[in-house]
Amino acid sequence: MEWQPIESAPRDGSAVLVYNDRGVHRCWWDEEWGTDGFWMIDVMKDDFPLRGTLPTHWLPLPAPPKAAPEQEQA
C-alpha cells in the first residue's frame, strides 16, 4: 500500500503509522486532546501528543505475525 494523505486517515482512535519531519510513528487520533483533537503517540506507556510538525501521510498498521518464528537450536 502507498502512503496516503493525512486528511484521509481514520479519526476513530484506531492506530496507524504516520509520517512527519521526525520520521514514522505509531499514532492514533484523539478527539479529547486539545481544542480540535491531536495525533497521539504512546511513549513509555504514557500518551503524548506527537511532537514536531503535523503528520503529512499515513499507512495502516501491518497485520501481526501469525506465529513466532522457531529459533534454531545450536
Instruction: Please give the pLDDT value at position 35.
Output: 67
Instruction: Please give the pLDDT value at position 66.
Output: 87
Instruction: Please give the pLDDT value at position 61.
Output: 94
Please check whether residue 59 is in contact with residue 17, taking contact to mean a CB–CB distance below 8 angstroms.
yes
Long-range interactions of 5-8: CB distance < 8 A, separation 24+ = 5/56, 5/57, 5/58, 6/54, 6/55, 6/56, 6/57, 6/58, 8/58
The tens place of each residue's pLDDT in the chain, 74 residues long, gives: 899 999 999 999 999 999 998 899 999 998 876 667 888 887 755 567 777 788 999 999 999 888 766 765 55
